[in-house]
Amino acid sequence: MSSLSTLFTALLAAVSLASATPLVRRTAAGNPNLITQLRTSTQVNRTNALIEDEPDFSNFKFNFLEKLKPGPFGGGVVVANGETFPAVTGTGISGGVVFLPPCGMNGAHTHPRASEFAIASNATVKTGYVMENGAAKFIDLTLNPLEGVVFPQGSIHFQFNDNCDPTMLFVGLSSEDPGTSFAVKNVFALGNPAASAALGLPDKINDQNLEAFTDSLPTGIILGAKECAKRCKIDGAPMIKDSN
Ligand SMILES: *[C@@H]1O[C@H](CO)[C@@H](O)[C@H](O)[C@H]1NC(C)=O
Ligand SMILES: *[C@@H]1O[C@H](CO)[C@@H](O)[C@H](O)[C@H]1NC(C)=O
């Protein structure tokens, strides 16, 4: 595990470096015409088009760290999909890295078009999912390093780093266009009457009206538990909103 943690230390140290000097390279990912061409092509033509676009083969690998834009709480989710990494076109899959800061949670969400295989790296991560109406139980799991879990398409799931050190999860997804839907945020996005009816028509939520409460809902990588923030001495840990 020590060479693994050396690697991660180097990777995370590079985060600030990467964000300080954004790499401005035009690859297939920034070329809408090429993306359209790839989608209507055969695999051999796709391969050739990607080689022609970048003869050094840089269209064929994806740097997750370079693409990470840490939010106010740190961490973030980077997905290599058909738009950000056109080399997946025609394969039916995509991949991701979930960067979890201390006490960070990738909050309750679904992928509308993909199942997900998530694998813990060098730390224990708490996770779980609800499949659908009628499922006997909430699947409640703790992943130890190099243990993995499958979240079937449509399941509502989360990943929580209940530790005081950062970690990452590696993720495979069964679609080039998995999509992500934050479960709570998008219930509230339905507005009235559907959102308040789903809550049993309360007069106020957290002393706020529905609109104000909706605006205050965090998305992206969020604080997973106040107890963790206290234990890890994360001063003034905010219930942050994600930049995207
Ligand atoms: C996992 O890797 C990160 C990045 O190097 C490191 O900060 C963290 O301490 C590691 N966690 C464990 C439990 O080794
Ligand atoms: C693939 O490339 C060949 C040679 O350039 C071309 O003739 C053919 O129309 C292309 N096929 C598709 C589906 O793009």
Identify the nearest ligand to the CA of 48 by its number: 2
Domains of the chain from N-terminus onward: 63-231 (2.60.120.10)
- Give the list of residues 6+ apart from residue 22 with CB closer than 8 angstroms, or none: none
pTM as predicted: 0.85
Q: How far is the CA of 62 from the centre of ligand 2 (A)?
A: 26
How far is CA 232 from each of CA 4, 12, 36, 102, 229, rounded to the nearest angstrom? 23, 19, 47, 8, 5
Tokens at 43, concatenated? 């695999």
Find the helix or strand (DSSP H, E) in which 52 lies: helix 43-53
pLDDT at residue 3 in the model: 53
For tokens 């899959």, the residue is 93
Q: How far is the CA of 45 from the centre of ligand 2 (A)?
A: 6
**Structural contact between residues 103 and 161, judged by C-beta atoms closer than 8 angstroms:** yes
Identify the nearest ligand to the CA of 42 by its number: 2
pLDDT at residue 50 in the model: 96
**Structural contact between residues 99 and 79, judged by C-beta atoms closer than 8 angstroms:** no
What single DSSP character describes residue 208?
A: B
Identify the nearest ligand to the CA of 168 by its number: 1
Atom of ligand 1 nearest to the CA of 1: 14
pLDDT tens per residue, the chain (244 residues)?
Answer: 445 455 455 444 444 333 433 444 567 888 888 999 899 899 999 999 999 999 999 999 999 999 999 988 899 999 999 999 999 999 999 999 999 999 999 999 999 999 999 999 999 999 999 999 999 999 999 999 999 999 999 999 999 999 999 999 999 999 999 999 999 999 999 988 999 999 999 888 888 888 888 888 988 899 999 999 999 998 755 554 443 3
**Structural contact between residues 174 and 93, judged by C-beta atoms closer than 8 angstroms:** yes
Q: Put the strands of the sheet holding 167-173 in their side by side order.
A: 76-80, 94-100, 167-173, 116-120, 148-151
Ligand 2 pocket, mutate which of 40, 42, 45, 51 (most atoms under 8 A from CB):
45
Query: Crossing angle, helix 43-53 and helix 32-39, to 10 degrees?
Result: 160
pLDDT at residue 10 in the model: 47
pLDDT at residue 203 in the model: 86
**Structural contact between residues 175 and 82, judged by C-beta atoms closer than 8 angstroms:** no
pLDDT at residue 242 in the model: 41
**Distance between alpha carbon 179 and the CA centroid of its chain, in Å?**
10
Give SS3 for 169: strand
Which burial class, exposed, middle or buried, applies to 86 when counting CB atoms under 10 A from its CB (0-12, 13-18, 19+)?
buried
